[in-house]
Amino acid sequence: MINLKKILFIGTFSALLAWSNLTLAFDFPFFPQKNEEASSASNATQEGESSNSWSSIAQEVILQALGQTGVKYKYGGINPDSGFDCSGFVRYVFKEAANLTLPHGARAMSQVGKNVSEKELQPGDLVFFNTMKSVYSHVGIYVGNNRFIHAPSAGSSISVSDMNDSYWSKRYTGARRIDEKELARIESIKPAK
């Protein structure tokens, strides 16, 4: 059941974006600015179908993730009603937004898609951290502008953190992007509109 707070948050966020093309502190390349709309259309044609597919999926992933802001952390949690742990949150978001079932656990997720350097990060990429003396013990979703959304730890809730913060920058271990094979599978199972 979606609560009123989440509906208001999503509605307010969507209205802000629609009214002013404001992208807050995030770098959302899939929300074109007015002066970029013409060049974005020609670039999309040149970049091909998979780029458009990724931008569309990334937009849905980010909006779904932001819609979960404030949901409490719960170890082993897999839904917004009971709470999320880091991988439960990421798994839920990708299932809801892209109809893609990611594996359980941050370590297993680190094997999906393709490796991405920190300089090449794009919204929707999975970002990994060493928080428990294990290279892939924490996962979040990159939202742009060196920020990621995640389920931090017990006693907290889904929130956006800055990757430049000393805690996260020291523990960053890599990123993954869902590759074209997964994108093709997503496209083939989406219901027709």
Among 91, 147, 150, 176, which one carries the catalytic annotation?
150
In the Cβ-directed half-sphere of 76, how many Cα atoms lie within 13 Å?
A: 0
In whole angstroms, give the CA distance from residue 110 to residue 103.
9
Q: Is 138 one of the catalytic residues?
A: yes
Among 86, 109, 126, 175, which one carries the catalytic annotation?
86
Helix, strand, or coil (residue 46): helix
In whole angstroms, give the CA distance from residue 60 to residue 41.
19
Q: Is 104 one of the catalytic residues?
A: no
Among 93, 136, 138, 142, which one carries the catalytic annotation?
138
Closest CA to 85 of 103, 95, 71: 71
CB distance 125 to 54 below 8 Å: no
Give the sign of the dihedral formed by CA 33, CA 144, CA 7, CA 102: positive
Report, as residue numbers or ranges, the catalytic residues: 86, 138, 150
